[in-house]
Structure 1
């Protein structure tokens, strides 16, 4: 079955739910899970996510799971696109409102944001993350999975790191051992985005309008999200990749904005180190796939200095 045929068959199903006036499905650049399209219905515009035909609806292809968390957050203090339609018949798909805005990671992405806008956005989404973590994970609509604790998160990403050749992760084994030796006690589980950062929040001006890319949401220790989010506050964490942004909030300022006067969180340095280990593991995995010819992307050759810096600074934190 050709890709064109698959798209045409999906379009028929989408029009049956959204209306005969729906236009063509157009591939949406930047989608990393399943199939991602945009479609216009009169003056309205939607994003459609679908399971690729022939693939299992698991992991990043489980679009129904993404629809579920968006539905659970509808009307909450966390801005998310509204879900317009869901079809569970495989290959499953759902449609959500097209949120106007831009998602730019200041230290990594083009085009560069003005320093004032970048600073304001990062401080604003720190409060969005706090509100996300205040969500009632017992809500039936969420159908939350078993909570993920620090030890489970470390085990998961240790497996990814171990799959990376040792020469691509200098000091990685020592870092894993030190993290494993000091696993902190857990905090009450909250709703986790899994990849919370400015690059996954659509903004208009300084205002966040939609948190997107919910492929790996889970329930677990709030410091898991926080340690990852704080990583993107400093371009020096990304040698050869990052750019300096004057006035960007420091990790301490972002943490203060998240806490909003509340009590300090214990063991944050451990979770900051964990975030760096995760980034090193992900980059090492991508670089390995490139060098093995599984996903040709010469840009991956820029990653070794950042992988080494992630591991080195994580060990310094510990």
Structure 2
């Protein structure tokens, strides 16, 4: 190999495949660079332009098995299936199941910012309007018939959801999640009956919704979609409407809708779903388990991130408020 020649990288090879795949689907124009994008919690995410069009590409990392969060094509399948349903999703433009698999979707412009957690801060009136619109859009997602979707798993019941997050919590040293065992016992003592399962996104919140002004234009990050209980999703969404749930890591945003107002927007004025207080408590237990897990990984040196040291007060707050709700 000459001094002027360098081996092609995996990114070079991926770019060639992406450009070829997009052109096979009728997209034309000069191809730009494959530019890594920040954010995301699974796979590799890039931006690329072909002529006047721009696309987001998600790919399985080389050597990574395409399962769970790394199953890129599973994400593409659900977004493609939701096209035309009224659920705002990016349009899928190309897919490729050759290893490593990837898909390309349209680049949807706008902001996806969690008002109580993310920077830059969102103007309070805009944050409030976005949260109400998100609550109004959520029933569209839950109303899509499961028979029309590429469902590939069984729904979890409320008891199954609790068991799932209890396993995560059980792997966290008790001193990092004080009183978590007490909250788990209260949840276990009053598990609600299951309802007819619906499509759930799994992490429905403003941080995963691209908005222009107050209008949601794309629900993104479909790594953990599944059939499930709609109240699990609603309880999780409500957690992010109150910055006081996140002392030390979040902010309080004046004027955000109350939980009652968001539930009213979700139901269209009908009565709140049964046992919603239990799902509120489950959401707090779940978030405390996730944060406890992350703090444990940091302290064990498996993923060094000094920001994790800000989590203890939030973990304690989540558990305490969960206990209060289930008194």
State the TM-score bracket (shorter-chain normalisation).
over 0.9
Assess, with a 3 A threshold, how the Cα gap between structure 1 residues 68 and 117 changes in structure 2: closer, same or farther: same
Instruction: Report if the CA contact (8 A) 1:102-1:203 is conserved.
Output: yes
Alpha-carbon distance between aligned partners in 2 of 1:222 and 1:207, rounded to the nearest angstrom:
22
What secondary structure, in the 3-state scheme, does the structure 1 residue paired with 2:224 have?
A: coil
What is the aligned counterpart of 2:270 among 241, 262, 266? 262
Q: Which residue of 2 aligns with 1:314?
A: 322
Instruction: Report if the CA contact (8 A) 2:34-2:47 is conserved.
Output: yes
User: Does the alignment pair 1:91 with 2:100?
Assistant: yes
Q: Which residue of 1 aligns with 2:26?
A: none
Extract unaligned runs of 5+ from structure 2. Answer: 1-5, 24-28
Q: Which residues in structure 2 correspond to 1:12-91 (within 5 Å)?
A: 12-19=16-23, 21-91=30-100
User: Does the alignment pair 1:110 with 2:137?
Assistant: no
User: Does the alignment pair 1:5 with 2:9?
Assistant: yes
Alpha-carbon distance between aligned partners in 2 of 1:178 and 1:241, rounded to the nearest angstrom:
27
Q: Which residue of 2 aligns with 1:250?
A: 258
Instruction: Report if the CA contact (8 A) 1:240-1:305 is conserved.
Output: yes
What secondary structure, in the 3-state scheme, does the structure 1 residue paired with 2:112 have?
A: coil
What is the aligned counterpart of 1:194 among 191, 199, 202? 202
- TM-score, normalization: structure 1? 0.97
Q: Residues 173-202 of structure 1: CA distance to partner in whole angstroms, max 9, x if unpaired?
A: 111111111110011100001000011100
Instruction: Report if the CA contact (8 A) 1:235-1:243 is conserved.
Output: yes
Instruction: Report if the CA contact (8 A) 1:15-1:21 is conserved.
Output: no
Alpha-carbon distance between aligned partners in 2 of 1:68 and 1:18, rounded to the nearest angstrom:
17
Instruction: Report if the CA contact (8 A) 1:80-1:210 is conserved.
Output: yes
What secondary structure, in the 3-state scheme, does the structure 1 residue paired with 2:47 have?
A: strand
Assess, with a 3 A threshold, how the Cα gap between structure 1 residues 4 and 220 changes in structure 2: closer, same or farther: farther
Shift of 1:22: 2.2
Rg larger in structure: 2
Instruction: Report if the CA contact (8 A) 2:151-2:226 is conserved.
Output: no
What is the aligned counterpart of 1:185 among 193, 199, 211? 193
Q: Which residue of 2 aligns with 1:204?
A: 212
Instruction: Report if the CA contact (8 A) 1:105-1:197 is conserved.
Output: yes
What secondary structure, in the 3-state scheme, does the structure 2 residue paired with 1:40 have?
A: strand
Q: Residues 24-56 of structure 1: CA distance to partner in whole angstroms, max 9, x if unpaired?
A: 111011122101101101111111001111111
Instruction: Report if the CA contact (8 A) 1:137-1:144 is conserved.
Output: no
User: Does the alignment pair 1:170 with 2:174?
Assistant: no
Q: Which residue of 2 aligns with 1:234?
A: 242
- Structure 1 consecutive aligned stretches of length 4 or more whose deviation exceeds 6 Å: none
Alpha-carbon distance between aligned partners in 1 of 2:270 and 2:80, rounded to the nearest angstrom:
29
What secondary structure, in the 3-state scheme, does the structure 1 residue paired with 2:154 have?
A: coil
CA RMSD in angstroms comes to: 1.4
Alpha-carbon distance between aligned partners in 1 of 2:284 and 2:323, rounded to the nearest angstrom:
9
Alpha-carbon distance between aligned partners in 2 of 1:26 and 1:16, rounded to the nearest angstrom:
17
